[in-house]
């Protein structure tokens, strides 16, 4: 990784606005770039990563941090 | 030539707005609360628009609640804060020149035991912040004073009023439907807790608006339902209108205000020169750039408006929503006009598309039909 991943805090953002906001940020990044997203437990962690994968992005990592999650996403080549 | 000078009532939608709406209706028809791809596409439209609106106001996206327009935003602000305050909410302060959606919403709370104070205005329609300060009590939960008046364009001292509310821990709501994108209003600078805007005054679609709700402000919803908009506004979001709202904001030209101001002043100069005894209703200086409101010396405005309409010139006597009601305008009464004087008043409101040729032609027609020289 040549540069640190961008970060996006989506805690407290309802579904599926959280997925939509993540996609809007990812679309502004160059292909192959990374985005680190903070998500709430429950629906958000269940639903957001698959929604990003469905649009061609790669969920590289999911870590539990406190009561929430941190997800590392790599922007897909064709997305 | 059609000359539309009723832009305070509503504006013609911009082409970019119509395109955004039809594109969204066709391609992003999913429910923005659904989890499948079409739902997420619709949610992207909503969230992109929310960001556009938040940026235009200096707010955070999460502080924006989409509504069906200015009326709902005002009702949500006034009733939502009072309901959330429960038994603590005993007193609300509004100005005497608010839009009916603020005034009637506040007065509807009286049956719940809420006392409503109406603060008067001076002869130009301006609220004195000291007069607001005088009526505040330990029971006051909310002050609502608009940014720009819908009839006479008075720009209220919202900075000062907001500051004195903030100092006392009282919520401040501001109806900015007329001024949004015409006069700067940044919620990071103005101490406002709730702010109403709508799209159809800025060449956007009708039936869409938003309420800015400062983070941490307790607000009860008007509707029970699916809990959209963070539980603050249930109901499936009007995605095409939301897309159109954002397109309208993006199409705003910040230089347009000074052009509208110049043409408005030119219109007033033409009328003032040709119609002896004509008077300006509302402020000379602290005035919204596109608003002119005049009192004719003899002519009643209703028959004049009909003749103007027949000539392809569209204006109004006052607020659009009060046109059906025979009662005199409360705003004009509040600035000291007699009921007879209110019926001789004419509101001419410009848009960024109004041209010099149009204001000159409108002035000539008004002078001719109102019997000036
Ligand atoms: C100052 C003001 N507030 C509220 C409204 C109501 O907005 P809407 O027509 O979107 O309900 C209007 C105009 O219609 C207005 O001018």
Report which DSSP code applies to B50: H
What are the chain B neighbours of A23 within 8 Å (beta carbons)?
40, 44
Residues of A with CB under 8 A from a CB of B: 12-17, 19-21, 23-24, 47, 51, 54-55
Domain boundaries, chain B: 3-11+253-369, 15-250
CA of B11 relative to ligand 1 center, distance in Å: 12
Q: Which two tokens stand for residue B349?
A: 């409101």
Cis previous bond, B148, omega within 30: no
Please report where in the chains the tokens 């500051």 appear, as a residue: B163
Average pLDDT for A27-44: 96
Task: Please state, in angstroms and rounded to a whole number, the distance separating the CA atoms of residues B331 and B321.
Answer: 13
Structure pTM? 0.94
**Range B15-250 classified under CATH 3.40.190.170:** no
Q: What is the CA radius of gyration of chain A?
A: 11
Express each pLDDT in B217-249 by its tens digit. Answer: 999 999 999 999 999 999 999 999 999 999 999
Cβ atoms B145, B103 nearer than 8 A: no
Residues of B with CB under 8 A from a CB of A: 32-35, 37, 39-40, 43-44, 46-48, 50-51, 61-62, 230
DSSP-based three-state secondary structure for B8: coil
Q: Which of B312, B319, B314 is nearest to B333 (CA)?
A: B319
Express each pLDDT in B294-306 by its tens digit. Answer: 999 999 999 999 9
- CB count within 10 Å of CB B187 equals 21
Express each pLDDT in A40-65 by its tens digit. Answer: 999 999 999 999 999 999 999 999 99
Please give the CATH superfamily to which domain A6-74 belongs: TusA-like domain (3.30.110.40)
The pLDDT value recorded for residue B88 is 75
CA distances from B221 to B197, B233, B347 (A): 17, 6, 35
Positions of B marked active-site? 321
DSSP-based three-state secondary structure for A46: helix
Q: How far is CA B76 from the centre of its chain?
A: 15
What are the chain A neighbours of B34 within 8 Å (beta carbons)?
16
Please report where in the chains the tokens 């790669």 appear, as a residue: A58
Q: Which of B299, B320, B279 is nearest to B366 (CA)?
A: B299
CATH numeric code, B3-11+253-369: 3.90.1150.10
Largest CA distance in chain A: 34
Average pLDDT for A4-17: 90
* Nearest CB partner across the interface for B40, out of A12, A14, A16: A16
Protein residue closest via CA to atom 8 of ligand 1: B70
Express each pLDDT in B185-224 by its tens digit. Answer: 999 999 999 999 999 999 999 999 999 999 999 999 999 9
Block mean pLDDT (10 aa), chain B, length 373: 96 98 97 94 97 98 97 98 88 98 98 96 98 97 98 98 97 98 96 98 98 98 95 97 98 94 98 96 98 96 95 87 69 96 96 98 96 60
The pLDDT value recorded for residue A1 is 47
Task: Please state, in angstroms and rounded to a whole number, the distance separating the CA atoms of residues A53 and A63.
Answer: 17
For B24, what's the count of Cα atoms within 13 Å in the CB-facing half-sphere? 28
Residue B262 phi, psi (nearest 5)? -65, -45
Cβ atoms B62, A12 nearer than 8 A: yes
Q: Which of A51, A57, A60 is nearest to A75 (CA)?
A: A57
The whole-chain average pLDDT of chain A stands at 92
Cross-chain residue pair B43–A24, CB shorter than 8 Å: no
């Amino acid at each position: 990784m040549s540069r640190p991943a961008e970060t996006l805090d989506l805690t407290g953002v309802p579904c599926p606005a959280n997925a939509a906001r993540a996609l809007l940020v990812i679309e502004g990044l160059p292909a192959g770039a990374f985005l680190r997203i903070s998500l709430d437990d429950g629906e958000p962690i269940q639903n957001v990563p698959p929604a990003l994968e469905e649009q061609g992005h790669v969920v590289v990592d999911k870590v539990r941090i406190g009561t929430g999650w941190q997800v590392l996403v790599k922007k897909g080549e064709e997305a | 030539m059609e000359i539309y000078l009723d832009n305070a009532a509503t504006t013609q939608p911009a082409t970019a707005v119509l395109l955004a709406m039809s594109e969204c209706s066709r391609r992003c028809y999913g429910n923005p609360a659904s989890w499948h791809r079409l739902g997420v596409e619709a949610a992207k439209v909503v969230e992109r628009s929310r960001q556009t609106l938040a940026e235009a106001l200096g707010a955070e996206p999460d502080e924006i609640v989409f509504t069906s327009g200015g009326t709902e935003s005002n009702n949500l602000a006034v009733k939502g804060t009072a309901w959330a305050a429960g038994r603590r909410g005993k007193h609300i302060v509004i100005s005497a020149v608010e839009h009916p959606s603020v005034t009637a919403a506040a007065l509807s709370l009286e049956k719940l035991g809420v006392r409503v104070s109406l603060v008067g205005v001076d002869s130009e329609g301006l609220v004195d912040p000291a007069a607001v300060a005088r009526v505040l009590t330990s029971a006051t939960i909310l002050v609502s004073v608009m940014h720009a008046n819908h009839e006479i364009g008075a720009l209220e001292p919202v900075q000062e009023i907001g500051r004195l509310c903030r100092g006392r821990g009282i919520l401040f709501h501001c109806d900015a439907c007329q001024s949004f994108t015409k006069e700067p209003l940044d919620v990071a600078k103005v101490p406002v807790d709730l702010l109403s805007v709508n799209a159809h005054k800025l060449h956007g679609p009708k039936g869409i608006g938003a309420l800015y709700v400062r983070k941490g402000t307790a607000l009860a919803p008007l509707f029970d339902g699916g809990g959209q908009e963070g539980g603050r506004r249930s109901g499936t979001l009007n995605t095409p209108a939301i897309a159109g709202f954002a397109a309208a904001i993006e199409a705003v030209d910040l230089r347009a205000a000074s052009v509208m101001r110049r043409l408005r002043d030119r219109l007033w100069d033409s009328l003032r020169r040709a119609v002896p005894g004509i008077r300006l209703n509302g402020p000379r200086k602290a005035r919204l750039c596109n608003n002119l409101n005049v009192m004719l010396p003899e002519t009643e405005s209703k028959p004049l408006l009909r003749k103007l309409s027949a000539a392809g010139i569209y204006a109004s006597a006052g607020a659009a929503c009060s046109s059906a009601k025979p009662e005199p305008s409360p705003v004009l009464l509040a600035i000291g006009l007699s009921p007879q004087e209110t019926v001789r008043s004419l509101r001419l409101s410009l848009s960024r598309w109004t041209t010099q040729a149009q204001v000159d032609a409108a002035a000539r027609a008004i002078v001719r039909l109102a019997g000036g020289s």
